[in-house]
Structure 1
Amino acid sequence: MYRILVTGIGGNVGQGVLKNLRKLNEDFFIIGINIQAVSAGNYLCDKVIKVPYAYEDGYVDAIKEIVKNEQVDLIIPTTDFETLYLSQAKISNLVTSPYDTNAVFVDKYQTYLNFKKCDIPFAYSFLPSEFHKEPKGDYIFKPKQGRGSRGIVINPSDLSSFSDDDYMGQKYIEGKEITSAFYVTKNGDLHGVISMYRTLVNGTTDSCSVTNDHEDKIIEIIKNIIKNFKVRGSCNVQSRVASNGEIIPFEINGRISGTNSIRSHFGFDDVRYIIEEYLHNTEPSPTNIINGSAMRILTDVIYPGVLEIEDVKGQTIKPILF
C-alpha cells in the first residue's frame, strides 16, 4: 500500500487531487494536511493532520515528522507557499520543481522580471511606487506572492495601502482568460498541454471550456518556459487573449492547479501522471484531449450523529454527499 501525503486539503486544488487519487481506484492510504483539523477534504482522506501555515517556523519540521512517522511514499503539494518552502528544505519524495524555479514563479513581479530577461511574454508589471511613471490606462494591483487570483483591485483610487514589498501593479489586458495546464516529466520533457477558457468566482474557476484556438502560441510559450527554467511535474500558466490575438501570460503556478479535477475528464490527468512516474516508475499515460465544458456546484458533506463539526476528525462514520 502506498502512503500519499496531500497538502492543503481545505482548498479546491487539494480536494481535486484527492478526488483524482480516489478515481484511480488503487490501494492508497491518503494523509491530508491542513491548517484546520476539519475541512471539506477530510472525507476523502484516511487520516488528517493539522499543521502550521507554510511560512511559520514549525511547518517544515512538522512535515518532516509526518513523513517519518507515517512512512510517506509521496508528497503532492497544492499551495504556492507549501511548494516553495518544502522545495527549499529539499523534503524527500516531493513532486515539485526545484526551489530556484518555485521562488520565481511564486512571486509574480519576479516572474515578470525573469520572463522579460528570457524574452517570454508576460503582462507589463511594476511596483506601486512606480505608478506615477506609467502611461494612462487600466491597471490592476494584487499581491506579489501566492493567493492565486485573489486580492485583486482594479484601478484603485488610493495607492497608500499597496507597498512595494507586498504588492505589484499590472497592465490590465482586456480579453478572454485562458488557463493552460502542462506536465513536465522527470527528464524535463513536455508531456502534454490542455487549455481552457474560464470564468472565475472568488479567485477560483467557476466554469470552463476546453479550447485549442491558440494551441500553437501557448505551446511555444510553455516550451520557452521549460527551456529557461527547470520545471518538473504539473504547472499552470494563466493568460489573456489580447484584441490582436496575442497570448499574454499574467501568472504562472509552479504546482498542480485547481482545475485538475475537471481536466482529468478531458484527457489530461496530471494526478495519474504523477502516480505513474513517481510511485510506479513508469512512463506517464498519453494525453488524449477531448472537447468539453464544466461548471462547479456546491456540495454538502453531511455527518449524521456528529454533534460538533470539530468532532469529525475523530469519527470513522462515512459522510453523506448531497
Structure 2
Amino acid sequence: MGKINVLITGAGSTMGYSVLKALMSSKYKERINLILTNSDSDGPAFFLKPLAHKCYIVPIAKDPTYIPTMLEICKENEIHILFSGTEHEIFELSKNSDKFLSNSNTVVMLSDLNVINIGTDKLKTYEFFVENGLPFPETVLFDDYQKLIDEVGFPILMKPRIASASRNIFIVNSVDELIQKQFAPSDQIILQRYLDSDIEYTVETFMDKSGRICGTIPMKRELNFGLSVSGKIDRNIDVIKVSEDVTHALKPMGPVNVQLRVVNGEPIPFEINTRFSSTECVRAHYGFNSVEASISNFLFNEEITLEYREGMFMRYWDECYFESDEYEKLVANGYLIR
C-alpha cells in the first residue's frame, strides 16, 4: 500500500483534532491522504495544517441519511481506515461497521456495539463491573435514591445515565437538593457514591485485534469543561493494573479509556470511554500513539508494543485563520477539494 486514505470525523471537535494531531505525529504522516468530515462548516480542523485533501459537511449522526452519506464518501475516496472524532457518531458507525468493510473495505476503528453500550450507558457500566468483580462506586437509578443513601450516605453524585460530555453532573447533599436538581426523567439519571478524592486519572489501554494488551498509559489530570486541561503521565502500578483488568473483561477493539479516582490508596474506576479521547495527541507526544498502533495492527497486521515516557502537559487557547473563499466554497457546496 502506498498512500493511506484516512477519514477522521468531527473536524469541529477537540477529540477529532486530537486524533488528527496524533496521526500526523505518527510514522505514517508522509503517507496519509487525509479526508475530514463535520456536521457543519465551523470545523477548525478543516482549515488547520496539515490541510485535508477533501472536507465534507455531513448530516448529524441520528439523521437517516448519515450512514448512506458516510458510506458514499468512504467508497468514493477508497478510505482504508475511519476514526470517529465525536461521541455522537460512535453508535451509528459501530452498528454499521460491517457495511463499511463490505462497501469500501474501510476499517472502522470502534469496538462492537455491545462494548460501546457498556461504556456509554453508566448503569450498564456499573452492572458490567459488578458482574466481573471489578471495583466501582455503588450506582442506582434516580428512583432508588433512598437505597443508595441508606448504604453510603451523603454526598452522592447525580449525573446523566448516557454520556453527556460532563453536563448535568452534581454533588448532592440532601434529599431536597436531589429532588430540586432532577434534570431528566428518572430512568435517565443515575446516582453514585461520591468518590471523595482529588487524585483523578484517565488511563488508556490498547488491545490489538487478537485480544492482546499492547500497553497502558496513566495520566493524572486536571479537568475543566469535561476536558483534561493539564496533567502528568506517571507509572502508577495499581492504576495500570485496574485499567488492564477492565480491558481484559471488556475486550475492546483498540483503545479504551478508564476514568478513576484514587481513594485512600485504592484506584476506583467510575467511567469508561470505549473510543479514542481528546488526549490522544498528548499520549502520542510521549510515545504512546494509539492512532499509529491502529494502522499498524488493524490495517497491516503488525504486532505492536506501546511504550511511553513520563512527562507533564497543559493546554491553552489558540486561533485558527483561513481565507474566506475556502469557507464560502465549503458552505455553498457542502464539500471542499484541495
TM-score between both structures, scaled by the size of structure 2: 0.85
The amino acid of 1:120's aligned partner reads: L
Q: Distance in 1 between matches of 2:164 and 2:43?
A: 19
Q: Which structure 2 residues correspond to residues 167-246 of structure 1 after superposition, within 5 A?
A: 167-175=189-197, 176-213=199-236, 215=237, 217-242=238-263, 244-246=264-266
SS at match of 1:23: coil
C-alpha separation in 1, matches of 2:186 and 2:298:
39
Structure 2 unaligned blocks of 5 or more: 102-106
Equivalent residue number for residue 129 of structure 1: 143
SS where residue 115 of structure 2 aligns?
helix
**3-state DSSP of counterpart to 1:281:** coil
Partner of 1:145: 162
Shift of 1:288: 2.7
Deviation for aligned residue 1:278: 2.5
**2:119 is the counterpart of 1:105:** yes
> 2:92 & 2:136 partners in 1: Cα distance?
25
1:290 counterpart residue number: 309
Paired residue type of 1:272: E
Bigger relative contact order (CA 8 A; separation at least 6):
2
Aligned residue number for residue 320 of structure 1: none
Whole-angstrom distance in 2 between the partners of 1:12 and 1:18:
10
Partner of 1:33: 37
Q: Note the alpha carbon deviations across 1:44-63, whole angstroms, 9 max, x for none.
A: 42222122222332222222
Runs of 5+ consecutive residues of structure 1 not aligned to the other structure: 318-322
TM-score by length of 1: 0.89
Indicate whether 1:166 and 2:166 are aligned.
no
CA contact (8 A) 2:54 2:336 kept: no
Q: More displaced, 308-317 or 155-164?
A: 308-317
Counterpart amino acid of residue 232 in structure 1? M
Secondary structure at the aligned position of 1:134 is classed as: helix
Deviation at 1:287, TM superposition (A): 2.5
Whether 2:56 is the aligned partner of 1:49: answer yes
8 A Cα contact 1:80 1:106, kept in partner: no
Say which SS state the counterpart of residue 26 (structure 1) adopts.
helix
Instruction: Pick closer, same or farther for the CA change 1:232–1:307 going to 2, 3 Å.
Output: closer
Q: Cα deviation per residue 1:95-122 (whole Å; 9 max; x = unaligned)?
A: 1211111111111111011111111111
Shift >3 Å, 4+ stretches:
307-317
* Bigger fraction of residues in helix: 2
Structure 2 contact 256–273 (Cα < 8 Å) conserved: yes
1:269-308 mapped onto 2 (5 Å cutoff): 269-284=289-304, 286-304=305-323, 306=324
| C-alpha separation in 1, matches of 2:190 and 2:301 | 41
1:51-66 correspondence to structure 2 within 5 Å:
51-66=58-73
For 1:234 and 1:209, the matched residues in 2 are separated by 19
CA contact (8 A) 2:205 2:247 kept: no
- Superposition RMSD in Å: 2.1
> Structure 1 residues 113 and 40 mapped into 2: Cα distance closer, same or farther (>3 Å)?
same
Deviating more after overlay: 250-259 vs 97-106: 97-106
Counterpart residue type for residue 34 of structure 1 = N
Whether the 8 Å contact between 1:84 and 1:106 is mirrored in structure 2 is no
For 2:154 and 2:269, the matched residues in 1 are separated by: 19
Partner of 1:67: 74
Structure 2 residue identity aligned to 1:42: F
Aligned match for 1:82, one of 76, 89, 106: 89
Distance 1:81 1:113 in 2: 23
Q: What is the CA distance between 1:308 and its match in structure 2?
A: 9.1
